Structure 1
Amino acid sequence: MPEVSYLRPNLHRMTGFDAAEVRRLRTEEQLSVREIRARTGLGRNRIPELLRGVPAPARTRRPRAKDDLRAEAVALRSTGQSVPEIARRLEVSRSTAYLWVRHLPLTRNREEELERRRAHSKVMTDARWAAHRAARDRAQAETHALAARVVGQLDERDLLLLGAAIYWCEGTKSKPWRRDDHVQFVNSDPGLLSLFLRFLEACGVDRAVPTYRVSIHETADPDAAAEWWSTELGVPLERFRRASLKKHNPTTARLNTGDGYRGCLVINVPRSRELYWRIEGMIAELFRSAAHTFVGGCGPSA
């Protein structure tokens, strides 16, 4: 004789109407599985079968710990971020990031993509060569210190020889087809200009004697550049003449721009024919001496 339960109704053989009732309890009354079991007496496994395809009520859904991260991943994807970038930003695995955004195609502007690739390449290169560059910088600093010990204190002879040499490299020179015995020095390096002014002083020419002129592109500020050169080199601002402006060529990719660009400084020494002859004489003797002298090194090795 089959066992009959007297504690609850015999509902394990439910009709189609009974299945519809379970679905109604789910959709209309928004009951959970536990509440439907208590109402109908059905088993734990039977109710999920009858509710297959019926979404659970919102009130019964437990919030997922990563719902906020998922929403953030979608937002990042909409700005053109790749799956690896999203995974790195949110500190999740790439597979998780992919599952969150796989329904969103990645669309990027060509220029933005090139810029992103350049930035990524720079990061990878910097990481790869960081140790090498640090070792190179240390070696460079040690060599600088070793070379600096060779210089010592400059005397008058040193200044005369150095000044004549740098003038012959960067200064205006007389040519057979253009006789011009006039001292004019042009450069953009404050150190070299300062050294040339020391040379002039060793020759008896005070810094207030020459005239100065800024040669600079017309897109820059010549007055600000003149003030900077005056302060940097300790020369009187009233000795500056009107600046020479170079025309701007928009097709040229100039790198000497920005706040650090101050053009070149032109130093003209008035009534300097005899000074120019002295420079010619020193250079001629330097060339003669170098041709007959062998120097066996460039300083101490330790």
Structure 2
Amino acid sequence: MKIELREKAIELRLQGYTYSEILKVTPVSRSTLSLWLRSVGLSTRQKQRITELKLQSAKRGALIRKQERIRKTIQIKTIASNEITQLTRKELWILGTALYWAEGSKEKTGANNSGIIFSNSDPFMIRIFLLWLLEFLHIKQENIVFEIYIHESHKNRLEVVKKYWSDHCSFPLSKFDRIYYGLKELYIIAEWCNGNTTVFGTVFLGSNPSSAASKN
């Protein structure tokens, strides 16, 4: 019986079959199969077939891992969304303060009216920070002016980028008409001025909005 299996395994190997394919039709251990086939030579074409099959297997494995990662990410986001349904004003105040603490510029000792600089590429984080400015710092929407700094390579899709930030920031498209070219990254800057005081500042929104830059 083993002689027949060995001959069958050698025949399949000579046809360019992989160990995994041969093991499916020859019920022996991999170590036994390796012993049987160690002296079996393969042609260049057979080696190429085996290499291609290995690459296909690796791609399938990578796809499965990617799909599992996406599934877990969706599951985590769903659970988190169910746990936090709506933010209270106190929570929004703390969240905005934490965002400024983590991502905003800090006024140096002795500096007056140096303003606020906020830099981040997450459009949802930017929306929260804008809401924080409007709700708690009482900056009027009409006093917020946006500027876009964009690399020359994105010049042909400027309208797409402007609409992207207009939609995500919930500001009119006309607010995004200040365009500057030459930088390696795309920036959105919001300048604000509180009309009731002399306070003036700048808020950088999105140091590298790859999600906008990647859209066609």
TM-score, normalisation: structure 1: 0.41
| Unmatched 5+ stretches in structure 1 | 1-82, 85-97, 107-116, 249-255, 257-262, 277-302
**1:268 is paired with a residue of what secondary structure?**
strand
Change (3 A) 1:193 1:200: same
For residue 177 of structure 1, report the CA deviation from its aligned partner. Answer: 6.9
1:240 aligns with 2:163: no
1:190 corresponding residue in structure 2: 123
Q: Which has the higher contact order (CA 8 A, sep 6+)?
A: 2
Paired amino acid for 2:165: W
- Of residues 207, 226, 230, the one that matches 2:166 is 230
1:1-302 pair list within 5 angstroms: 123-176=56-109, 179-203=112-136, 204-221=138-155, 223-224=158-159, 225-240=161-176, 242-247=178-183, 263-271=186-194
The secondary structure found in structure 1 opposite 2:154 is coil
Distance in 2 (alpha carbons) for counterparts of 1:239 and 1:269: 12
Cα separation, partners in 2 of 1:158 and 1:128, compared to 1, 3 Å: same
1:25-75 per-residue CA deviation (whole Å, 9 max, x = no partner) reads xxxxxxxxxxxxxxxxxxxxxxxxxxxxxxxxxxxxxxxxxxxxxxxxxxx
3-state secondary structure, aligned to 1:200: helix
Q: Secondary structure at the match of 2:99?
A: helix
Tell me how far 1:133 sits from its aligned partner.
4.2
Amino acid at match of 1:210: I
SS in 2 for 1:188: coil
Q: Do 1:216 and 1:264's aligned partners in 2 also have CA atoms closer than 8 Å?
A: yes
Offset of 1:270 from its aligned partner? 1.4
Give the number of aligned pairs.
Answer: 153
Hey, what's the Cα distance between the residues in 1 that align with 2:178 and 2:105?
20
The one-letter code of the counterpart of 2:192 is: V
SS of 1:269's partner is strand
Contact 2:139/2:193 (8 A) holds in 1:
no
Q: Is the contact made by 1:209 and 1:270 (CA closer than 8 Å) also made in structure 2?
A: yes
Amino acid at match of 1:207: Q
**C-alpha RMSD of the superposition:** 3.8
Separation in 2 of the partners of 1:133 and 1:189? 22
Letter in 2 for 1:198: L
Question: What's the CA shift for 1:213?
Answer: 0.9
Aligned residues of 1:215 and 1:243 also touching (Cα < 8 A): yes
> What is the identity percentage for the equivalent residue pairs of Structure 1 and Structure 2?
21
Q: Please tell me whether Structure 1 or Structure 2 has the larger radius of gyration of its CA atoms.
A: 1
Q: Give the Cα–Cα distance (whole angstroms) in 1 for the partners of residues 175 and 69 of structure 2.
A: 44
**1:66-88 Cα deviation digits (max 9, x unpaired):** xxxxxxxxxxxxxxxxx97xxxx
Give the TM-score of the pair, scaled to structure 2: 0.55
Structure 1 residue 211: deviation in Å? Answer: 0.8
Structure 1 residues 200 and 170: alpha-carbon distance in aligned structure 2, compared to 1, 3 A threshold? same
Distance in 2 between the 1:267 and 1:134 partners?
A: 38
Alignment partner, residue 80 of structure 1: none
Between Structure 1 and Structure 2, the one with more helix by share is 2
> Take 2:115 and 2:177, find their aligned partners in 1: how far apart are those partners?
17
